[in-house]
Structure 1
Amino acid sequence: MTQLTSVTVRGMRWTSLASAAAAAVQIPCAAAMARLLTPEDFGLMALAYLVPRFAHHFAQGGLSSAVVQRPSLTDRDVRVVFALALTVGACSSAAVWFIAPYGTGLMRGPAELTGMIRALALSMLIAALGAPATGLLSRSMRYRTVAFTDFFSFVIGYCVVSISSALLGAGVWSLVYGTLGWTLLQTLLSYLMVRHSLRPLFDVRAMQDIMRFGGKVSVNGFLEYLMADLPKLAIGRYVGVAAAGLYDRAALLASFPLQQIQQAASKVLLPALSRIQHETGRLATFYADSTSVTTLVLFSLWAVIGASSEQLVALLLGGQWRGSAELVPILGLVSVLSLVAQFSGTLLEAMGSVGRKVVIHLVQLVVLIAGTAVALFLGGGVHGLMTAMLVSQLIKQALFYVCLNRLFPSARRPVAQGYAQAVALSGLIWITLWSLQGALAGSCPGAVILAAKLAAAGVLALCCVRYGAGLHGVRVARERGLLPAALTKADRAGSQGVWSG
């Protein structure tokens, strides 16, 4: 195992541990907030966040990614990046402040929505100022520091602040305060870990050089925002705020554990891949191996969440959120496809081929807009809008597949095999869990049914890990040291022939 691979594996372990710890905190936090607030509150927050998210990617200007991806970086470059962060962040926040009333009118929201949008605009400036420090931490591969910073900023900045505010009667504003606290604490902790110069350097030529890459990253982020939030905007405007709240919580429940995996990996992969951006053979191996592992894990998790959505919503969110349960399976599949595509996008970004991502995202956006228009015209409601989302994600996935297979022809077969095995395993899990529910329904409470489903899923996962030598994703995870030795030693002898071949 090379030094870079070793560092990357350790980074994956640290970021995965931080994500697991955050999940252990966020699940009860989300459950508590779902009982302290109403669907209308969450729907209002979801709509309020649409406008700042519209400008968020331009506020950061892809600066963190630019810091990571640059082949060489000097102190002077860092000062230029900080100057860009200060300028673009301040301008973007001011722009959101002024357009807030128009955003409220577009979404047909109450007057309170304007104040919420303006408060959230402040978080854009705070996050932009933290972009250089975040990029420096990732570039230096200080994954343990990144993990601790992310975890403590979320627990203290968001969970403690939002729950305390809700208990004190702040209502929907408790979500705003939590978001601001989370962003502020993460920025402060990241800066304290690197302590870069706070003297901005306004070198126009150097700024232009940085923005050639960072600007493309921003455009990609903006397109991703449109594709993620266009259905939410349509639901809030044409179906109602309460429906937007149900959709928002269903999306969180469907994608939460999946996003934890993706976020943990993305913090590690961009800096690692950027260091080998010109080594085509190693990048091809990464593409094949990462696709096999991520599809196997993410599709399997989707099957567990989708087949258990009724019990998960009842237990975690409560009875008032019952309408979210039927939305979880399809939103989970959309999330899986989106997250798998993000790994492909990270590979292109590390290679500096951001323009290819822009083209793929533009095609997906056109499909999504057309599908949304058709769904609204036909009166398809929330389900019609989610179908449009799914179709657009499938098309994006196919485009990434074609693009990367042309760049790395040797990876075509293992990637196709990885997809096929992931779909087959998720189907087996889904059938098993639904059969279990059919056997227990009516005779056991929901909590017992959920526990039985999770136990059955755990047994299937353990069997795959210990005896699944035929699964490409499992083989890769063993070879890369991503699995504890205790889980694989039963099949270690049989796998030696696989590795030697």
Structure 2
Amino acid sequence: MSVLHSIKWNYLGALFKGVSQLVVLAVMARLLKPEEFGLMALALVTIKFGSYFSDFGLSAAIQQKKEINDTDIQASFWFSLIAGLLFCLIIYFLAEPLSLFFDTPELAPVINIVAISFILIGVSATPIGLLKRNMQFKFLSIVESISYLISNGVIGVLMAYYGYGVYSLALAYLSQLLFVFVASYFKTRHSIRINLKISDYKHILTFGGGYSVASFMSFIGSNIDHLLIGKYFPAAELGIWNRSRNIISMPSYNLLVSITGVLLPAYSKHQHDKQQFSELYIKSLVITGLFLVPVAGGMFAAAPQLVDVLLGKNWQNAVMFVQISALFVPIEMLASVAATACSAIGALSTQIRIQTLLLSISTPIMLYFALQQKLELILITLAVYYWLRFFIYLFVFGKRLEIRPMVHFEIVFSQLMGAAWVGALIYLTAHYCWRLNAFQLLPIEIAVGGVGLLTFVIFGPAKRVREIIRSFLIARKTSNELNTIARTVLKKGY
């Protein structure tokens, strides 16, 4: 299966999952309080903090290693399982101290429950890595979408409706992990024979350890806001921020995972061919940014309607938070495309140094603002951190692959122009249709934004996007009529 074909299936799965998540978000926001979302956000930060080391990057190692055998798979599975059990026990016994640290007594029982996720994440790492290695993204997309609907859309919503509060979120999270593990294991049916040979663990732990540290540094940058807000602000504030950021990050993250999940094994296959690797990297940056950045521009303009529809009238304070999220979440995700490429060529140490430097500068600034109770300034500092990280990644990685700076500038400029165009169209739509309520206006804004993005791709400064679409249609051997339309409509242009 080709890289572009795999990305297509991941895009479709991400689109379905993103829409499902937003629907579930809208329902749950009306059944639960902001404080309960804040508690779950704190619990998940704690869990994710350890999961980067319990997984130890072994899923990525399974994808990256040029050749694997049963002993590699056995070593990966048993190491992940044992590490998951160990971290489950550690976090379980740390639940009380963590609740004291965040001054939130209600947090301890939630952490005790979601600590089970370490085991599920551990046993899932190997089968998921094998599925991604074999480019079985259609299957993964279907499994993730169905498991999300069952666990969150059915189990979570029913439990919330019957008054289980934050525990409805915790049980929905665990059930989703369980469904994904069961489906992925029965698809791969890999060997689970116990392997005690130390030599078989060498490669996967060497690569996996470096990948895990790099991912952990990304995690710190992605969650420093949750840690500081959870520590120095009420749980309700964290709940509002978490839901606001999720409105932007849920569809963005799903699209990102749909791309990077395909790219790591694809990058690894071309890691010794600089020209092919560079072409694949540029295409991935173009394809990812085509949706992430313009869509975020549209969501910035439609923030009041998004909050009304997805969260409800009681969440009006979230409008500003949604707009701040729209300013940096797409850039956070785009930086991950470069980070994935760094992982494939073994440049993890460079990635770790960049993130360590930026975090050592930005974290004290955000801590100062947290002590001053300046929530907006914490978030603005976070946005600056992500933009700096993105541009440094482009510079360092471009130099390593001998990509001219103007290539990166052209790609980023095109995406920002797309965001400005889509955002302006949606803003004007809201301005001239002010008599409509949010439920009437939002579908119109989505339609206008979609048409705006399409016209931008056809007529705007999006030459690289058009070239990729044309090459994809030709490679797929589509009908002569479709190829004629593609060549006519998708001209070289700007």
Report what 1:416 is aligned to: 409
Report what 1:386 is aligned to: 379
Task: Decide whether aligned partners of structure 1 residues 35 and 203 sit closer, same or farther in structure 2, where only a CA change above 3 A counts.
Answer: same
Q: State the 1:355 CA deviation.
A: 1.5
Greater shift in the superposed pair: 145-154 or 130-139: 145-154
The one-letter code matched in structure 2 to 1:91 is L
Report what 2:47 is aligned to: 52
1:299 paired residue among 293, 304, 309: 293
| Structure 2 residue 443 is the aligned partner of structure 1 residue 451 | yes
Report what 1:270 is aligned to: 264
Deviation sequence 1:459-493 (CA, Å, 0-9, x none): 21221233347532333233234999999854613
Q: Is the 8 A contact 1:288 1:411 kept in 2?
A: no
Task: Decide whether aligned partners of structure 1 residues 159 and 368 sit closer, same or farther in structure 2, where only a CA change above 3 A counts.
Answer: farther
Q: Is the 8 A contact 2:457 2:465 kept in 1?
A: no
Task: Decide whether aligned partners of structure 1 residues 22 and 488 sit closer, same or farther in structure 2, where only a CA change above 3 A counts.
Answer: farther
| Structure 2 residue 203 is the aligned partner of structure 1 residue 218 | no
Q: Is the 8 A contact 1:57 1:219 kept in 2?
A: yes
Report what 2:459 is aligned to: 467
Deviation sequence 1:34-53 (CA, Å, 0-9, x none): 11111111011111222111
The one-letter code matched in structure 2 to 1:447 is F
The one-letter code matched in structure 2 to 1:168 is Y
Question: What is the CA–CA distance in structure 2 between the aligned matches of 1:461 and 1:467, rounded to whole Å?
Answer: 10
Deviation sequence 1:411-465 (CA, Å, 0-9, x none): 5322210111111221222223223322232x22223332332222122122123
The one-letter code matched in structure 2 to 1:68 is Q
Question: What is the CA–CA distance in structure 2 between the aligned matches of 1:255 and 1:229, rounded to whole Å?
Answer: 13
| Structure 2 residue 30 is the aligned partner of structure 1 residue 15 | no
Q: Is the 8 A contact 1:466 1:489 kept in 2?
A: no
The normalised TM-score by structure 2 is 0.94
Report what 2:19 is aligned to: 24
Question: What is the CA–CA distance in structure 1 between the aligned matches of 2:484 and 2:213, rounded to whole Å?
Answer: 46
Q: Is the 8 A contact 1:90 1:125 kept in 2?
A: yes
Report what 1:3 is aligned to: none
Q: Is the 8 A contact 2:466 2:492 kept in 1?
A: no
The one-letter code matched in structure 2 to 1:282 is Q
Q: Is the 8 A contact 2:71 2:200 kept in 1?
A: no
| Structure 2 residue 20 is the aligned partner of structure 1 residue 61 | no
Q: Is the 8 A contact 1:82 1:200 kept in 2?
A: no
Greater shift in the superposed pair: 176-185 or 269-278: 269-278
Greater shift in the superposed pair: 276-285 or 422-431: 422-431
Question: What is the CA–CA distance in structure 1 between the aligned matches of 2:367 and 2:333, rounded to whole Å?
Answer: 25
Greater shift in the superposed pair: 366-375 or 100-109: 366-375
Report what 1:407 is aligned to: 400
2:104 paired residue among 85, 100, 109: 109
| Structure 2 residue 311 is the aligned partner of structure 1 residue 317 | yes
Equivalence map 1:73-472=2 (5 Å) = 73-110=68-105, 112-380=106-374, 382-441=375-434, 443-468=435-460, 471-472=463-464
The normalised TM-score by structure 1 is 0.93
Greater shift in the superposed pair: 337-346 or 136-145: 136-145
Structure 1: stretches of 5+ with no match in the other structure = 1-5
Question: What is the CA–CA distance in structure 1 between the aligned matches of 2:152 and 2:54, rounded to whole Å?
Answer: 21
Task: Decide whether aligned partners of structure 1 residues 488 and 332 sit closer, same or farther in structure 2, where only a CA change above 3 A counts.
Answer: farther
Deviation sequence 1:272-301 (CA, Å, 0-9, x none): 111111110011112222223322321100
Greater shift in the superposed pair: 460-469 or 96-105: 460-469
The one-letter code matched in structure 1 to 2:448 is A
Provide the secondary structure at the position in 1 that maps to 2:171.
Answer: helix
Task: Decide whether aligned partners of structure 1 residues 260 and 12 sit closer, same or farther in structure 2, where only a CA change above 3 A counts.
Answer: same
Question: What is the CA–CA distance in structure 2 between the aligned matches of 1:351 and 1:63, rounded to whole Å?
Answer: 16
Provide the secondary structure at the position in 2 that maps to 1:201.
Answer: coil
Provide the secondary structure at the position in 1 that maps to 2:67.
Answer: coil
Q: State the 1:377 CA deviation.
A: 4.5
Aligned residues: 491
Question: What is the CA–CA distance in structure 2 between the aligned matches of 1:50 and 1:371, rounded to whole Å?
Answer: 21
Q: State the 1:144 CA deviation.
A: 1.7
Q: Is the 8 A contact 2:289 2:334 kept in 1?
A: yes
Report what 2:488 is aligned to: 493
The alignment-based identity, stated in percent, is: 24
Provide the secondary structure at the position in 1 that maps to 2:194.
Answer: coil
Greater shift in the superposed pair: 139-148 or 462-471: 462-471
Q: State the 1:73 CA deviation.
A: 0.3
Deviation sequence 1:195-240 (CA, Å, 0-9, x none): 1112221322332332111011111122122112221121122121
Q: State the 1:325 CA deviation.
A: 1.2
Backbone CA RMSD of aligned residues: 2.2
Provide the secondary structure at the position in 2 that maps to 1:250.
Answer: helix
Task: Decide whether aligned partners of structure 1 residues 151 and 303 sit closer, same or farther in structure 2, where only a CA change above 3 A counts.
Answer: same
Greater shift in the superposed pair: 405-414 or 258-267: 405-414
Greater shift in the superposed pair: 279-288 or 177-186: 279-288
Q: Is the 8 A contact 1:468 1:474 kept in 2?
A: no
The one-letter code matched in structure 2 to 1:413 is M
Q: Is the 8 A contact 2:92 2:112 kept in 1?
A: yes
The one-letter code matched in structure 1 to 2:458 is R
Question: What is the CA–CA distance in structure 2 between the aligned matches of 1:311 and 1:494, rounded to whole Å?
Answer: 33
Q: Is the 8 A contact 2:248 2:329 kept in 1?
A: yes
Question: What is the CA–CA distance in structure 2 between the aligned matches of 1:304 and 1:150, rounded to whole Å?
Answer: 27
Q: Is the 8 A contact 2:155 2:172 kept in 1?
A: yes
The one-letter code matched in structure 2 to 1:403 is V
Question: What is the CA–CA distance in structure 2 between the aligned matches of 1:196 and 1:203, rounded to whole Å?
Answer: 18
Q: State the 1:24 CA deviation.
A: 3.0
Provide the secondary structure at the position in 2 that maps to 1:197.
Answer: coil
Q: State the 1:363 CA deviation.
A: 1.9
The one-letter code matched in structure 2 to 1:401 is L
Deviation sequence 1:29-83 (CA, Å, 0-9, x none): 1111111111111011111222111101101010100000001101111111112
The one-letter code matched in structure 2 to 1:427 is A
